[in-house]
Structures are given as C-alpha cells and as structure tokens.
C-alpha cells in the first residue's frame, strides 16, 4: 500500500512513527519537504495511495477526485475543517483525527502569549534590538484578571488549569460543556455573551461554526471590555478578521496574539504586521512532544482503518 505523508514537521525531517507504516509493508511517499502541498500537487500525489497522513493543507473535493484508491485520511491533529468531509464521505474515505495529541502544546503557547501580551514583551525586545531603551506602556499583572475561554475542550481545560495557577478568574463557554470539569475555585461556565463581555483576556479554543459564520463577529467584539486582549490559537475563521482589525485600530482591543491564518503563509498580512499583534506561524502543536504524540496516534489510526477496510 502507498501512503502519502504531508505534515510539514515530518516531510522536513521524517519521524520514527513512519517505520510502523514501512514495517506493515507500506510505501511512504512525501510531498515537497517542509512545504504545504497545493491542490494540484495533491492531485499529482494521491493517485494510487491507499492512505493519506495529512497536515493542515486544504483537502478539497477536486483533490480527492484524483484519489482513486484512497481509503483513509488520518490527520496528525484534532481539526478536520481543512478536509472536504462531504466529498470524502461520498467517496467512502474515512477521516480520522489525532484527538488531544497536541492539546498541551497549544495550551502552553496560549498561556505564553497571554504573558507576552500582558507585559509587552515583543515590542520591548524589538526596541532594545534597535538600540533603544523604550519601556513603553506599563504592563498588567494576571492575578485577579478575568480570562474568558470560548471553547473548553482538551485545550481549553489545560489553559484553565494553568491560568488558575496565575491567580486569574476563569469564565468559560462551551457548546457542550463538561459540567464535571471543576479545576478549582475561580472557574465557572457561563454564557458566550458573559464570557465575551467580562474577559480581560479572551482566548479562543473552539472550531469554526458549522454555518461558516465567525463566532467572534463585529457585534460580539463590540461587547468586549475596552482594552481587552484577544488570543486565537484555534482557527482563523473563528473570528471576523476585518472587525478585529478595526477594534485594534480603534484601541477597543489592546492587543491580539494570533497563531492561525486563512492561508499559510498568509496572503493578507494586515493582522500579522499590525503593531498591536503578536503573530506566530501556526506553532501551537509544533513541539517535540506534541509532534511525537500526534504522529503516533495518526499512524496507528491510519493502520487500523486500512486493516479494517481489508477485512
């Protein structure tokens, strides 16, 4: 069986988990090293592949038209919104997720970005590197501040536990809240409106809405505290980028930390280059530990699906 492997962290340097595929008699093929494959590149690579270990690249209906033998797509992450699920289902292709494998990496990045926003770490560092000694505006301490979580699944729960350790108050919204989750005094579930309006720091950990509308649109942003900080380590489509840009320009938002873009690298860099924004190139799950967990789960999921389809 031929298996296509495309995650950039793996095509750049390989990964030990791929030996499981080779030991099972699979031929492992790669896209261009360290690059996200285009639709046309996928159309050239997918013919003859029984399995596809996918990264974050868009897997469109047109790309899947070329997948004449494909039986399973296994993501090395939790999200599958980059895959045309309807097209996959129509072709009888299983779509599998490495649930929770990179949750700690994403959660720790979110916490790190909260600290960086609160203390103005990036502009202070840039000023010093330019030869200046500009302390800028005074930072804020996290103790006693309210962290609003939009989404309280695996990542959100880890962020909540860490933030409680900083003395923050946590209000969380989840479409399907785990009411047994109680990490300590100072945490509670609330409505989406309350989370948005009470947060000093608002961190997004939810998937895009099924209907394609942003969870954080212009009316929702209008309800945030003036001077709040926004953190998005989830998906770009979770918020209305134009509304966020306007809120940054007006000072309604004091800052944004962003680790997800509509295209990677972004073709619209207005947010990434904004002086109130910390932008990172989708590094949330890019830790040695997260990569190891995600690849192990993704490979095991793929082998199980392929073995099942043969039985």
What secondary structure, in 3-state letters, does 20-84 show? HHHHCCCEEEECCCCCCCCHHHHHHHCCCEEEEEECCCCECHHHHHCCCCCCEEEECCCCCCCEC
Q: For residue 308, what pLDDT is reported?
A: 85
Quick one: tokens of 37? 């494959």
Q: Which residue among the candidates 71, 154, 282, 293 is catalytic per the annotation?
A: 282
CB 74 within 8 A of CB 52: yes
Question: Using one digit for the tens of pLDDT, what is the confidence trace for 103-117?
Answer: 999 999 999 999 999
DSSP H or E stretch at residue 298: helix 288-310
Distant-in-sequence, close-in-space partners of 9: CB < 8 Å, separation ≥ 6: 15, 55, 286, 291
Residues 98 and 299: their CA atoms lie apart, in Å, by 9
d(CA 298, CA 243) in angstroms, rounded, equals: 36
CA-CA-CA-CA dihedral for 248, 82, 2, 42, to nearest 10: -80
Nearest Cα to Cα of residue 254 among 282, 222, 225: 225
pLDDT score at 207: 87
**Catalytic site includes residue 282:** yes
- Please give the pLDDT value at position 311: 61
Which domains are seen in the chain, by residue range? 2-101+288-310 (3.40.50.720), 103-279 (3.40.50.720)
Q: Is 235 a catalytic residue?
A: yes
Residues 22-61 have pLDDT tens digits of 999 999 999 999 999 999 999 999 999 999 999 989 999 9
- Within the chain, which residues score under 50 in pLDDT? none
pLDDT of residue 306: 94
For residues 259 and 134, what is the distance between their CA atoms, to the nearest angstrom?
26
Determine contact, residues 202/150, Cβ cutoff 8 Å.
yes
Identify the pLDDT of residue 215. 94
How many alpha carbons fall within 13 Å on the CB side of residue 17? 20
Catalytic annotation on 27?
A: no
What is the model's pLDDT at position 137?
A: 85
* From 235, 270, 274, 293, active-site residue: 235
Q: What order do you get walking across the sheet with 146-150 strand by strand?
A: 187-189, 169-173, 146-150, 201-204, 228-232, 253-258, 277-279
Catalytic residue among 161, 264, 270, 274: 264
| Rounded distance between C-alpha atoms, residue 263 and residue 265, angstroms | 6
């Amino acid at each position: 069986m031929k298996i296509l492997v495309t995650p950039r962290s793996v095509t750049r340097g390989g990964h030990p988990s791929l030996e499981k595929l080779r030991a099972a008699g699979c031929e492992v093929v790669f896209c261009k090293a360290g690059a996200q494959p285009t639709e046309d590149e996928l159309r050239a690579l997918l013919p003859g592949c029984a399995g596809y270990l996918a990264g974050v690249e868009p897997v469109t209906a047109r790309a899947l038209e070329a997948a004449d033998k494909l039986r399973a797509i296994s993501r090395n992450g939790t999200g599958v919104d980059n895959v045309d699920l309807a097209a996959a289902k129509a072709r009888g292709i299983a779509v599998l997720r490495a649930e929770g494998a990179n949750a700690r990496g994403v959660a720790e990045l979110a916490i790190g970005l909260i600290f960086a926003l609160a203390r103005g770490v990036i502009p202070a560092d840039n000023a010093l590197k330019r030869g200046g000694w500009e302390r800028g505006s005074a930072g804020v301490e996290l103790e006693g501040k309210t962290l609003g979580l939009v989404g309280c699944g695996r990542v959100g729960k880890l962020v909540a536990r860490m933030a409680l350790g900083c003395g923050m108050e946590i209000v969380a919204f989840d479409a399907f809240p785990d009411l047994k989750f109680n990490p300590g005094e100072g945490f509670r579930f609330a409505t989406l409106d309350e989370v948005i309006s009470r947060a000093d720091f608002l961190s997004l950990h939810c998937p895009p809405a099924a209907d394609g509308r942003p969870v954080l649109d212009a009316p929702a942003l209008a309800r945030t505290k003036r001077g709040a900080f926004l953190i998005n380590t989830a998906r770009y489509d979770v918020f209305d980028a134009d509304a966020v840009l306007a809120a940054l320009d007006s000072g309604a938002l004091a800052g944004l930390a962003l680790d997800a873009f509509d295209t990677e690298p972004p073709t619209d860099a207005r947010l990434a280059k904004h002086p109130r924004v910390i932008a990172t190139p989708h590094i949330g799950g890019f830790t040695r530990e997260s990569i190891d967990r995600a690849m192990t789960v993704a490979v095991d999921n793929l082998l199980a699906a392929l073995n099942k389809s043969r039985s």
